[in-house]
Structure 1
C-alpha cells in the first residue's frame, strides 16, 4: 500500500526519546502517512540508515524485506528445502530469494525472461511464466516443491497449489480474498525496526541486494502508480523529495 515506508533525517524528537536524535539519518515504516515532507512516527518504528545505503534504497526497503521475511517465517522454510517464488524479480520477491538462500534453501523464481539474469545474480533458478509452467518447474525440481510464495496470483497460484503438497506452506501476497477458501496463507506478523536495520546493514556490507527500478519526484506520484500498475519491472518504485 502507498505511504507505508520512508527514509529521512530526524527533525525533532519527543520528551523521553532516547537512541534517536535530531539530525540522525533513519529509515522506517508507517501506515499510509509517508507521502509527505514530514511525518511523525514512534521512535520504535525507525532504524539507523547506514551511510552506504542510498536514500532511494532506504526509502523503499521496508516493505520488501519485512514482507519477505514474515512470509518465509510463516512458510517455515529451512535448509535443504525448495521454495517456489512467483514474481521473484519484484522487491518482495528479490528479498525473499536472498533470505531463503541465506537459510540454505533452493529457490526457483518465476519472472519474465528479461529478468532471468537478475534472478541468477541473487541466487534463484529462473523459470518463465505462462503455459507449461507446471511442467517447467517439475523438471527443475524433480524432488518436489516444499513451499510457495505467490507474488503474482491467478495461474501462478494455481500452479503452486498443484506443486506444494501442504497448502499451509503457500503464502499469497495477491489473492487475499481467496486465501481462506483455498487453504493457503497470507502474511502474518508485525514489522520491526530490528528487522529493517538488520537488512539495511547487510545491504551496506554488500551482502544483500535491493534494486530500485525507478525514483519519481513526489509530485510525480501518479506516474509512479501507473508504472506499478503495469505489473512488470524489476525492483522497487520509490518517491523522492
Structure 2
C-alpha cells in the first residue's frame, strides 16, 4: 500500500465500516449507497459486497457508472425519479441505505427502506431528527483499520486516489472536493 493509499484509507474506510455495520449490512441484503463513486461510498460498496449483500445499488453521475460497476454495484443516476428507478431495480425492496450525498438522497432512502434503523446519513445531519433516523457515530480503532488493511492486501478493498496535493495547495484540494462529483479520495501530501 502506498503512503497516499494509507492516508486515504483510515478515515473513509473506517467511516464506511462503521456505517455499514450500524445498519446491519449482511448476506442477502439489497443495499442502496448514495454517492457510490466518492471515497466513502466506494468503500461502502466494497464492504457490502464482501459482507454478502445480494444487490448493491450505487448512485453516481453517469461519468462514474463504469467505476461504480467495477466496484460491484449497479450504478444508477441520482436526481428526479430516483425512487422509481431504484424500485425498478429492486422490486422486492431495499433493506438498508447509506447516504453520502445529502438531503435528496436521505429522503429517497426513507421512502425506500422500511426500517429507519437501517438508514444512515453522514451528510444530512440536520434531517436525522425530522426523519426519525438514528445518529450513527463511532471512533476509529486499530483493530478495524487492521481488518481493512487485510482486505486490501487480499485484493478485496481497492483504494482509489482521485488526486494528491502538496499541503501548501490545501485550498485547491478543498475546491476540488466541493465539486462533489469526483471518483475516489483526494489526499494531501507532506514533504
Same fold flag (TM > 0.5): yes
Partner of 1:230: 179
* Mapped partners of 1:155, 1:84: distance in 2: 14
Partner of 2:119: 170
Structure 1 residues not aligned, in runs of 5+: 1-52
SS in 2 for 1:171: strand
Match of 2:85 among 89, 113, 136: 136
* Mapped partners of 1:230, 1:185: distance in 2: 28
Q: CA deviation at 1:187?
A: 2.5
Partner of 1:156: 105
Q: Aligned runs of 1:136-215 on 2, under 5 Å? A: 136-215=85-164
Q: Which has the larger helix fraction? A: 2
Is 1:60 matched with 2:8? yes
* Mapped partners of 1:238, 1:186: distance in 2: 27
Match of 2:39 among 91, 101, 117: 91
Query: Any runs of at least 4 consecutive aligned residues in structure 1 with deviations exceeding 6 A, and if so which?
Result: none
Q: Does the 8 Å contact 1:67/1:187 carry over to 2?
A: no
* Mapped partners of 1:88, 1:215: distance in 2: 20
Partner of 1:25: none
Q: Aligned runs of 1:24-103 on 2, under 5 Å? A: 53-103=1-51
* Mapped partners of 1:61, 1:97: distance in 2: 14
* Mapped partners of 1:118, 1:58: distance in 2: 21
Structure 2 residues not aligned, in runs of 5+: none
Measured against aligned partners, the alpha-carbon deviations of 1:122-172 in whole angstroms (never above 9, x if no partner) come to: 110110011111111000000100111011112111111110111121101
SS in 1 for 2:21: helix
* Mapped partners of 1:78, 1:107: distance in 2: 11
Q: Does the 8 Å contact 2:16/2:43 carry over to 1?
A: yes
* Mapped partners of 1:81, 1:206: distance in 2: 23
* Mapped partners of 1:175, 1:72: distance in 2: 17
Q: What is the CA RMSD across the aligned residues, in angstroms?
A: 1.1
Aligned length: 189
Larger radius of gyration: 1
Q: CA deviation at 1:60?
A: 1.4
* Mapped partners of 2:153, 2:104: distance in 1: 37
Is 1:127 matched with 2:76? yes
